[in-house]
């Protein structure tokens, strides 16, 4: 390897420089990854404001032929189902078990739950257990507290979809 003034570097120099550069740049690379993650969350949040508006408009729409619009994932990881929405694992559909057995997707725009988790058909009433699946996927308890009845839990889920 030749450098400044035609001097030849020893054979060990290039690998040593690569190691030194990689070590020096590692913190910068880690920071860039965190910035990218945060940008994904911001993009999801901005997009969600539009989706929430559209879901609010569905609330007053006659007929139930238009589907709910699932929001983008804004929080990392899967969460726990809120009180009153936990199901029995023996009754959990295999497709749902498979979703939660894998890694949670990173938050971002167009990162929405699969149909096994979030059925968009408004003509079908969601069960409390289905609301629990959705809550786990979003890592958001929707404000559900111990003592909330089914009606209150469903309202809090709808408030989440409407951005309220």
Radius of gyration of the chain (CA): 24
Name the residue with higher pLDDT: 45 or 89: 45
Q: Check residue 110 and give its pLDDT.
A: 94
Name the residue with higher pLDDT: 112 or 91: 112
Lowest model confidence (mean pLDDT) among 19-23, 39-43, 127-131, 133-137: 19-23
Average pLDDT over residues 79-102: 86
Could you give the dihedral angle defined by the CA atoms of residues 93, 163, 64 and 67, in that order, rounded to the nearest 10 degrees? -60
Tokens of 123: 């003509």
* H-state helical runs in the chain: 13-59, 94-101, 128-138, 150-162
For the chain, percent of residues with pLDDT exceeding 90: 43
Q: Check residue 126 and give its pLDDT.
A: 83
Tokens of 138: 């979003």
DSSP string of 117-148, one letter each residue? T----TTSPPPHHHHHHHHHHHT--TT--TT-
Mean pLDDT score of the chain: 85
With bands split at pLDDT 50, 70 and 90, how would you rate the model's confidence at 122?
low
Q: 94 pLDDT exceeds 80?
A: yes
Average pLDDT over residues 91-113: 92
């Amino acid at each position: 390897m030749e450098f400044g003034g035609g001097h030849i570097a020893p054979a060990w120099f290039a690998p040593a420089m690569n190691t030194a550069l990689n070590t020096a740049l590692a913190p910068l690379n880690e920071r860039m990854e965190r910035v990218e993650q945060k940008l994904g969350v911001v993009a999801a949040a901005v997009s969600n404001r539009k989706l929430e508006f559209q879901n609010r408009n569905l609330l007053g729409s006659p007929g139930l032929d238009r589907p709910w619009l699932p929001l983008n994932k804004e929080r990392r990881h899967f969460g726990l189902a809120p009180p009153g929405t936990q199901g029995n694992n023996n009754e959990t559909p295999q497709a749902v078990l498979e979703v939660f057995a894998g890694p949670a997707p990173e938050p971002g725009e167009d990162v929405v739950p699969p149909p096994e988790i979030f059925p968009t058909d408004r003509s079908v009433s969601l069960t409390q257990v289905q609301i629990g699946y959705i809550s786990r996927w979003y890592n958001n308890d929707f404000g559900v507290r111990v003592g909330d009845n089914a009606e209150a839990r469903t309202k809090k889920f709808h408030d989440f979809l409407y951005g309220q």
